[in-house]
Chain A
Amino acid sequence: MVKSISHRKIRNYDVTTAPIWFRILNAIILLLMAILFLLPFWLVATASFMPEEDIMTKGFTLWPSRFTTSAYEYLFTSSDQFINAFKVTGLLTVIGTANTLFWTSMGAYVLSRRYLPYRNGLTLFVFITMLFNGGLIPWYLVVKSLGMVNTFFALFVPATINTWNMLIIRNFFMGLPDSLEESAKLDGANDFQVYFRIILPLSLPIMATMIIYIAVGYWNEWYSALIFITDRSLYTLQLLLRQILSTTTLAVTARGGRKQVTTSAGLAPSESLKMAAVMVSTVPILVIYPFLQRYFVKGLIIGSVKG
């Protein structure tokens, strides 16, 4: 209460002391920056709706010269690769997120119990993995020796434990009152019951934040796929997108002939098609983003508190 009053007082001072020219300049700078962040997405969207012939003659432009959805139609009908990658990525996002969150938060709960013997040792055990790592090749060899290369499991099992998130969740659990556990224990609950029935339901805000972070991570996943997957049917969306983008364009010689041109990716990589592929793999994030962004912020603020 006291805080909010003193804050308001400062606000009043602000209004009188902040020079008006600075505030106008500031607003202009920020507005320009906002445009700078959005414009690239707009340009890609524009290009994805332009007919191929127009791109060949005019290049990518700010406004579409003519409007067509043929690149999108082609993307989904020419081969089932894209739909397949969509399925893989969707499944990965759901399963990977559930898997990571379940084990990571349970570990975080254990680390948050102040009375647990060897707790500091366990925390150190987790913390060390943030300071050192064996590097790419030993990691690859371990996953390979477990027989996971070219399986769906390679995409999420090695990433099961997210140490950074674990420490954030631990900090949240430590902020909950001890009396919750005490009274449940007095009623005869064991640790599993305390965790699943009492602590978890009270932690929905942090869990929501974590789900979003982890899910976005899996949606954007391509690194593990690049390292562990050679089987095209297991490609994630982003990796397939990378393939589509990096195939050299043959469209100049086959002007307007989307049909004939196929390359190693099995898709006709005309320019608008590349842009449509970028759009399709970004749009899910663009759509849910405004609704979820407050959770992003919340999670980051919880995480940035040193503890």
Chain B
Amino acid sequence: MVDLNKMELAKGVSSNKGLIYNLKRYRNLYIMFLPVAVCLILFNYLPMWGVILAFKDYVPWQGFWGSKWVGWSNFKFILASPDFPRLISNTLLINIYKILWGFPAPIILALLLNEVKNKYFKNVVQTISYLPYFVSWIVVSGIMYNLLNTNFGVVNNMLQSMGMEPVQWYGRADLWRSILVVTNIWKSIGYNSIIYLAAISAIDPSLYEAAIVDGASRWQQTWHVTIPGIMPTVSILFILGIGGLMYGDFGQIYALVGYNSALYKTTDVLDFYIYRVGMQGGRFSIGTALGLFQSIVGFIMVVATNYIAKKMGGEGIW
């Protein structure tokens, strides 16, 4: 793990000369890093340490220090709460559906784009496909309003012109998990496909050549060369996806559903609940405890998936 570059070796300088010596010798570099360290400590490490709030009963006027220790009672309260099963199942189900439908989608798009030989056409389609990634969820909510509004929406207009009954989209909880999955795919498919296209272009061309010499058809080349070639990328993105299973997409939920309680049954996820009940409702300790729960479960899942992926001979993130 001794990390020396040529220059240092040539000068015969070792990095193991003691803390004071190192701090002095590399003073400038450490000074350059100082602002980063300060920011990370303030806005990342301090909040991490602030999770002890989950074991306190936070009362604003008593402050962080003055508030009483309550042990596990916040967690007990959460587990006993009727909202909890709903929050967990919504968060997990929406994410599982997103992975189930949304994970293969950009891979398929990348494979389709890879088959296009006209460079101009490919560029145009690609450029258009990742446009939605760069608008905010708020803008998407405006688009959804245009499409799904009960009185004026384009979709209901179409349904009515075909002689069908208009649908009360914003009152139908049973439809919203699908809507969340579809909008999520719409927004991210193009952008995510770039990663896979990059992985495809990094595949050694001689593998294709060998496959062709062996008489492989275009489909067989895709199946036996392209797909195995992008598996490491697939594996890494999958692990990251699993790690995020406990995290709802706050932006999406807040923008598209917001405070429409008619839809909470299927759309209320942990992140929005933490904001709505924890922060706006002033139940800071409960919100913190839920956040801690998310963070721990998320971490365990990343570690576990990483382990399994490696056991199966795949690529891990570490």
Contact = CB atoms under 8 A, between A and B. Distances in A.
Interface stretch (B79-87, B91-99, B173-181, B188-196): B188-196
A296 B50 CA distance: 36
Contact of A41 (B37, B113, B143, B218): B143
Contacts of B232: 306
Task: Identify which of B33, B37, B39, B115 gathers the most chain A CB atoms within 10 Å of its CB.
Answer: B33
A129 B32 contact: no
A14 interface: yes
Contacts of B142: 44, 241, 245, 274-275, 277-278
Contacts of B116: 23, 26-27, 30
B154 A43 contact: yes
B291 interface: yes
Task: Identify which of A40, A285, A286 gathers the most chain B CB atoms within 10 Å of its CB.
Answer: A40
A119 B3 CA distance: 9
Contacts of B292: 135
A251 B294 CA distance: 43
A149 B53 CA distance: 20
A274 B288 CA distance: 36
A91 B114 CA distance: 41
B7 A182 contact: yes
A285 B3 CA distance: 43
A30 B278 contact: no
Interface in B1-52: 1, 3-8, 15-16, 22, 26, 28-30, 32-33, 35-37, 39-40, 42-51
Nearest to A252: B151
Contacts, number: 300
A115 B115 contact: no
A142 interface: yes
Interface string A116-147: 11111010011001011111111111110110
Given A44-B142, A129-B40, A137-B53, A304 B136 contact: no
B167 interface: no
B250 A120 contact: no
Contact of A110 (B33, B39, B40, B44): B33
B112 interface: yes
Given A26-B112, A106-B36, A304-B199, A136 B146 contact: no
B26 A245 contact: no
A42 B146 CA distance: 11
Interface in A282-297: 282, 285-286, 289-290, 293, 296-297
Contacts of B218: 14, 17-19, 22
Contacts of A122: 33
Contacts of B191: 300
B205 A138 contact: no
B287 to A, nearest CB: 5
Interface in A26-41: 26-27, 29-31, 33-34, 36-38, 40-41
A220 interface: yes
A125 B29 CA distance: 16
B298 to A, nearest CB: 9
Q: Is the interface of A mostly helix, strand, loop or mixed?
A: helix
Contacts of B135: 220, 282, 285
Given A26-B112, A132-B295, A132-B299, A103 B36 contact: yes
B51 A134 contact: yes
Nearest to B287: A137
A60 B154 contact: yes
B278 A137 contact: yes
A293 B291 CA distance: 36
A185 B29 CA distance: 14
Contact of A137 (B3, B151, B288): B288
14 contacts: A6-B206, A36-B186, A37-B186, A41-B131, A59-B154, A103-B39, A107-B36, A117-B15, A126-B36, A134-B51, A139-B50, A185-B7, A190-B28, A281-B139
Given A33-B109, A192-B28, A245-B141, 10 more contacts: A18-B218, A19-B218, A59-B151, A60-B146, A118-B22, A132-B299, A137-B53, A192-B32, A195-B32, A246-B258
Interface of B: 1, 3-8, 15-16, 22, 26, 28-30, 32-33, 35-37, 39-40, 42-51, 53, 64, 109, 112-113, 115-117, 121, 124-125, 127-132, 134-136, 138-139, 141-143, 145-147, 149, 151-154, 156-157, 186, 190-191, 194-195, 198-199, 205-206, 208-209, 212, 217-218, 232-233, 236, 250-251, 254-255, 258, 271, 274-275, 278-279, 284, 287-288, 290-292, 294-295, 299, 302, 315
The 6 lowest CB-CB distance pairs between A and B, nearest first, are A135-B291, A138-B50, A134-B47, A107-B36, A278-B142, A191-B28
